[in-house]
Amino acid sequence: MAEKILVVDDSRIDTTTITKLLDDYSVLSASCGDEMWHVLKHEVPSIILLDVVMPGEDGFQIAKKLSHIEKFADIPIIFITSKDTGRDVEKGFDSGGVDYIKKPYNEIELRARIRSALLKKKRELDLRAKTITDPLTGVHNRRYFFEYLDKIVEHGRRNSNKNFSIALIDIDHFKNINDTKGHQAGDFVLRQLAEFLRKSIRPYDLVARYGGEEFIILFKDCSRKDSLEILQRIKDAVDRERYRFQDDPIHVTFSGGIADNRELEKETASAESLVKIADERLYRAKEGGRNRIVIETATK
């Protein structure tokens, strides 16, 4: 599928010229900032070619706004303009641009700069993927999960109508698998369970490897009881499954503890405090015989 390029330029002639030069890309167009925002409601381009001089907000102002919106902040912006003084170039980079192209366009230069910007973006995304992904299982790592959960908790503090929960799960008797079948079998089980968890949760939920044989899941718009229904189905499916490592069947179960944001004090709510509640319930599930999920705190 061709990369999508959004051209924001009030000159129809220039836009038509770029579209013809970039006939192997999927080119979208807008004649001003307002039209650009309308396009961005439906499309997220790979790159934006942004004219500096336009009616209303200029390209620098638009670029700054884009840089403050998470959904669009990583889109490379190449400024297109007849201005190329040192001050203009500096202002363009300060506004969030990655490159600068002067009119009239040179086809070879235009293509080269677009390829360079797209390649740089790909490398940055690849590098980021490595920093947020657990290398063994392919799901997110603990660091990323806490960064994400911090944002969700903070948003929940400001919006009391938002409900979410987390589940901390631990593979039962995992040490026995490593001891009797070897660490390769243990790694195989971790990968298989991680993939099953990823496929079993909703697209807008999040699973990460918490550490060792533990995983953690964020369920959006779910109370503890809602999450329990989902996780119980997953747990029962895993219990019925037999993973085969080198033709050797391995029976896997897990225990879990669930907590939701309604249990936190609004003023002191934090990702750590929510995970602590779930962890205490996970411990109770283990103590209660394993292969079970606990959603309530023990009464004293």
Asked about 213 being catalytic, the answer comes back as yes
Q: Where are the alpha helices (DSSP H) in 27-141?
A: 33-40, 59-67, 86-94, 107-132
Question: Amino acid identity, residue 42?
Answer: H
Residue bearing tokens 């205490």:
280
> Strand 164-171 vs strand 206-211: parallel, antiparallel, or unpaired?
unpaired
Q: What is the largest CA-CA distance in the chain?
A: 77
CB burial class (10 A; 0-12, 13-18, 19+) of residue 284? Answer: middle
Of 70, 154, 213, 214, the active-site residue reads 213
Print burial letters for 201-232: b (CB count within 10 Å at least 16), e (below 16): beeebbbbbbeebbbbbbbeebbbebbbebbe
Residue bearing tokens 């999960």:
145
Q: Which residues are catalytic?
A: 213
